């Protein structure tokens, strides 16, 4: 028994010291397959999802190919972390990190209620705690804490609190309870609690993405936009939400340490290619590659949907999610973007700082 323990420590400890772990929390923009293990309709496990993935198979990613966590992993030279619910994520593999994200969830528990069985934020954080207990069993408490402290963390959540809650149906419960400005303040205050909890659980490098331009996705063009214009109400939501998120993150950094939370202005980044798709090599930012109805924006992307032949020409893969090519641009900006996009600094600066210490 003792011999086994020593062997385990010897084989795991150096790994923990070398590779930087990566943890992912959030919604469908970053889910890489957790929902495949759940009884929910919020899933991307059938074709043509994954059509441009290395295996050409659906994986649960809401993308034609790679998603944002995959591309961040590619940029920082690590393996993209596995879905936490995967039975294959065990043993030594745990040391590379884990992806806890779940399509459909929001900051609030009542967001995505129609998807029933999804991993809500508080549960993703509980799983993170459980993960740390499991890793402690492998490498001990001290090494586990170090692994978590030194890890990169990505948090992408918030869009669904508008799309799949406040604006889900006319006269939704939340829209009767709150004016939009008051709702944004409430959502941000709940988000703050989640980030503090993440800090308490040991996260020290947390990339927090804003929402996209919510009113401009093909689904909203089809549902609410007039003549292909972005939906005014959802654009207004994004315009209120994102600056307050940046402000809240600044306050957190002032309180907890200057470079712990990093705000990525994904609204600004996405607006670039949505308002000028040709400049980014896209032929359209209005029409989804996979879907049906106006802008291919109605319903889900399924085997019987319209499907474009060249996904790289489309900013949107399905009615809500960017194509791999658009994701690449987002991650490029996260890595190398100026302070207009990345606050207080970009990821390459963070990586350089961390390699020095
Ligand atoms: C969400 O639900 C969990 C579990 O019931 C609870 O602990 C948490 O406080 C809830 N969060 C909010 C914002 O209501
Ligand atoms: C960031 O910039 C560096 C140096 O210019 C470059 O090598 C790297 O590929 C860029 N990373 C991304 C993700 O664009
Ligand atoms: C972001 O990253 C690049 C390196 O890829 C660097 O040259 C640039 O100064 C950084 N910008 C800021 C504002 O940190």
Residues of the chain where predicted confidence (pLDDT) is lower than 70? 1-18, 357
pLDDT at 55: 97
pLDDT at 2: 40
pLDDT at 11: 42
CATH class of this structure's domain 2-356: alpha beta
For residue 271, the CA-to-ligand 2 centroid distance in Å is 21
331 Cβ closer than 6 Å to some ligand 2 atom: yes
Nearest bound ligand to the CA of residue 337? 3
pLDDT at 92: 94
pLDDT at 3: 40
Nearest bound ligand to the CA of residue 339? 3
Output the residue whose Cα is nearest ligand 1's atom 10. 109
161 in active site: no
Is the whole model's pTM more than 0.85, yes or no?
yes
C-alpha angle 126/50/167, rounded to 5°? 60
pLDDT at 257: 87
Domain boundaries, the chain: 2-356
For residue 191, the CA-to-ligand 1 centroid distance in Å is 12
126 Cβ closer than 6 Å to some ligand 1 atom: no
Output the residue whose Cα is nearest ligand 2's atom 5. 336
If we measure between CA atoms, which residue out of 84, 71, 80, 95 comes closest to residue 34?
84
Question: Which residue of the set 28, 63, 211, 270 is catalytic?
Answer: 28
């Amino acid at each position: 028994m003792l011999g086994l323990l020593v062997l385990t420590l010897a084989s795991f400890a150096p790994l923990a010291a070398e590779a930087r772990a990566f943890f992912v929390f959030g919604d469908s923009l970053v889910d890489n397959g957790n929902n495949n293990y759940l009884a929910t309709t919020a899933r991307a496990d059938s074709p043509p999802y994954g059509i441009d993935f290395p295996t050409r198979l659906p994986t649960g990613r809401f993308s034609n190919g790679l998603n944002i966590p995959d591309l961040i992993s590619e940029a920082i030279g690590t393996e993209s972390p596995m879905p936490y619910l995967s039975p294959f994520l065990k043993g030594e593999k745990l040391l590379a990190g884990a992806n806890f994200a779940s399509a459909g969830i929001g900051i609030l528990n009542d967001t995505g209620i129609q998807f029933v069985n999804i991993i809500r934020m508080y549960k993703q954080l509980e799983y993170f705690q459980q993960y740390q207990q499991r890793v402690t069993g492998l490498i001990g408490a001290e090494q586990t804490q170090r692994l978590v402290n030194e890890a990169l963390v990505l948090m992408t959540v918030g869009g669904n609190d508008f799309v799949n809650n406040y604006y889900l149906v006319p006269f939704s419960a939340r829209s009767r309870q709150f004016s939009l400005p008051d709702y944004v303040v409430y959502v941000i205050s709940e988000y703050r609690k989640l980030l503090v909890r993440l800090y308490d659980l040991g996260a020290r490098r947390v990339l927090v993405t804003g929402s996209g331009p919510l009113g401009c996705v093909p689904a909203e063009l089809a549902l609410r936009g007039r003549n292909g214009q972005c939906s005014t109400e959802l654009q207004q939501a994004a315009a209120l939400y994102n600056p307050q998120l940046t402000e809240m993150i600044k306050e957190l950094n002032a309180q907890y340490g200057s470079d712990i939370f990093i705000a990525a202005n994904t609204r600004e980044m996405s607006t670039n290619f949505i308002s000028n798709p040709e400049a980014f090599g896209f032929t359209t930012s209005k029409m989804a590659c996979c879907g049906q109805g106006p802008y291919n924006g109605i319903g889900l992307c399924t085997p019987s949907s319209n499907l474009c032949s060249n996904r790289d020409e489309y900013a949107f893969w399905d009615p809500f999610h960017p194509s791999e090519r658009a994701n690449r641009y987002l991650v490029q900006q996260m890595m190398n973007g100026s302070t207009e996009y990345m606050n207080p600094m970009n990821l390459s600066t963070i990586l350089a700082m961390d390699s020095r210490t």
